[in-house]
Amino acid sequence: MRPTGLIPHPPPRTVNDMKKIFIYDSTLRDGAQGKGISFTVKDKLKIVGKLDELGIDFIEAGNPGSNPKDSEFFTEVKKINLRHSKIVAFGSTRRPGVMAEEDGNLKSLLSAGTDTVAVFGKSWEFQAVEILRTTPQENLEMIRDSISFMKKSGRNVIFDAEHFFDGYKDNREYAIASLKAAIEGGAYSICLCDTRGGTFPEEIKEITRAVISAFGIETGIHCHNDNGMAVAGSIAAVDAGAVQVQGTMNGLGERCGNANLTTIVPNLQLLKGYSCISGESLEQWAGAAMYISEVSNLALPDNEPFVGSAAFAHKGGMHTDAMGKNPGSYELFNPSKVGNTRRILMSEVAGGSAVMKLIGKIDRTIEKKSPETSRIMAKLKEMEYEGYQYEAAEASFELIIRRILGLYKPSFELVEFKVMVNEPSVNNRNSTAMIKIRVGEQYEITAAEGDGPVDALDGALRKALIKFYPGLEKIKLTDYKVRVLDSEQAAAAKVRVLIESTDGLKEWTTIGVSTDIIEASWLALVDSIEYSMCQEG
């Protein structure tokens, strides 16, 4: 719903909370511009939910006028009851020669219905003249007019000073004038952008300190990673007095990406004493990074600081010996503080607390040192070695726990299946699957067509089972992702398949791994069905 009046910004921080840093996530906008990224509306809503769980202050989500997908997103996101995060619509200043009230971009920003908007404008005179093809003075008026219009329309405005650092080094007076125009227009916060990603941390620190000294307004930092220093530059700006950090989860973004929040937040909070999110939220950090990586259909690098699977991994020799005596000898802090786990000798050992939490949902009588827990942890180690990752597929791991605890009975037995893929037909139903199953002493043989082999197999399986389990009619497959795990093996490589399903009320994700994509899909598909059966009792 569109705000009816000016939404007041939170009161100024007091001396007691001066170290609070606002985290501004741009994964859905900047991150979506990265190579290989193509978020669906559903993907974006999943990421919003995860960021809100973490307690991220601002989630920048694009402009509803830029494309139909973003327009649909802003409609759907209003249906989510966010507990912490504010959704921010993002767009440019008015065009040259057009009144702010008549500018289509600004009107679309209003249509998003968000309390807060981010308006970006040129702070580099070169960009104003050569790219916008306008005069330096007109550019300043565009900034002032646009922000004034948004404020009068009841929005809190953050001004993103695009190319600020390049502009400051080229023409200091003009860059400062762009900030002054934004403040005169009513911006409550300004964000200094290193848009080309080439400014060094010591320069960012010096310039940020000069800006804060000149204006005393809430100031943020937005760095791109073209020189590999976006994280360092962001932290330097905070040390200079910036109180808002913009970036993306896992550093997603065009070219070399944006400042990586998964690295920045632990550095600021655990190593420098700033307050970004709650400690409880930070304990979910590695899992959240993996989750967003899976939703993005990208591999999270093993050596990603703090959140990668190798971030706290130690190989043999003196390192392992030292770790046994004092983990602080090679670790900055206990990995559990960021939801990660220590790994010795390349073993894949999941965090005990995370596993116990899931075990407790199934059987509260199982203790951490029980034989059952040891078997579960050993099985997890074995499965992760085979290529399974359960951070984004807890439903499959819950089935593993149930099997080990003796609380699982298969709902059917596969006898055989066949899949045939033909040339695309007129209606695109180019695949056929035949399946034979046994439920108890009864056999059922069915076939189904689909838009692909997995869709056909899914249809045939449900068709066979619906006779025995009518409740399956409400279960739908809603998402399907494939990742090659060892690409150097070419066509013989293992693949990891993630399948997301829903019963209309709840969603769950299951996983399968194999060198055969059909088999991997089948494993994930069966887990999806079996998990739904377990939930139904």
Kindly report the number of other CB atoms within 10 A of residue 422's CB atom.
10
Tell me what the mean pLDDT of segment 193-202 comes to: 98
Residue from 134, 45, 143 nearest 94 by CA: 143
Residue 408 covered by a domain: no
Residue 417 covered by a domain: yes
pLDDT at 322 over 80: no
Determine the Cα–Cα distance for residues 54 and 44; give it in Å rounded to an integer: 15
pLDDT at 17 over 50: no
CATH of the domain at 451: 3.30.160.270
Residue 336 covered by a domain: no
pLDDT at 63 over 80: yes
Residue 50 confidence (pLDDT) = 96
Q: Domain residues for 479?
A: 413-536
Residue 11 covered by a domain: no
CATH of the domain at 164: 3.20.20.70
63-72, 176-185, 241-250: least confidently modelled range: 63-72
CA 496 from centre of chain: 19
| Paired strand residues for 500 | 479, 509
Residue 5 confidence (pLDDT) = 40
Give tens-digit pLDDT for 34-48.
Answer: 999 999 999 999 999
Residue 219 covered by a domain: yes
| Same-domain check for residues 74 and 222 | yes
Residue 376 per-residue DSSP state: H
Beta carbons of 189 and 159 less than 8 angstroms apart: yes
Percentage of residues of the chain with pLDDT beyond 70: 90
Residue 13 covered by a domain: no
Going across the sheet that includes 413-421, the strands are 413-421, 431-439, 442-450
Kindly report the number of other CB atoms within 10 A of residue 44's CB atom.
25
Residue 519 covered by a domain: yes
Helix 394-405 and helix 371-385: axis angle, to 10°? 140
Residue 1 confidence (pLDDT) = 36
Picking from 277, 298, 329, the residue at the C-terminal end of a domain is 277
| Same-domain check for residues 273 and 417 | no
Beta carbons of 398 and 362 less than 8 angstroms apart: yes
Tell me what the mean pLDDT of segment 198-218 comes to: 97
Would you place residue 324 in the very low, low, confident or very high pLDDT band (cuts 50, 70, 90)?
low
Residue 131 covered by a domain: yes
Picking from 254, 277, 300, the residue at the C-terminal end of a domain is 277
Residue 435 confidence (pLDDT) = 94
CA 357 from centre of chain: 23
Give tens-digit pLDDT for 118-149.
Answer: 999 999 999 999 999 999 999 999 999 999 99
Q: Is 384 helix (H, G, I), strand (E, B) or coil?
A: helix
Residue from 514, 518, 241 nearest 387 by CA: 514
- What string of DSSP letters covers 514-536? ESSHHHHHHHHHHHHHHHHHHHH
Query: 27, exposed or middle or buried, with CB in 10 Å at 0-12, 13-18, 19+?
Result: buried
Tokens 């591999």 -> residue: 299
Residue 306 per-residue DSSP state: T
Residues listed for the chain: 537
Give tens-digit pLDDT for 257-287.
Answer: 999 999 999 999 999 999 999 999 999 999 9
Kindly report the number of other CB atoms within 10 A of residue 404's CB atom.
19
Q: How many domains does the chain have?
A: 2
Compare 126 and 331 and report the one with higher pLDDT: 126
Picking from 240, 256, 277, the residue at the C-terminal end of a domain is 277
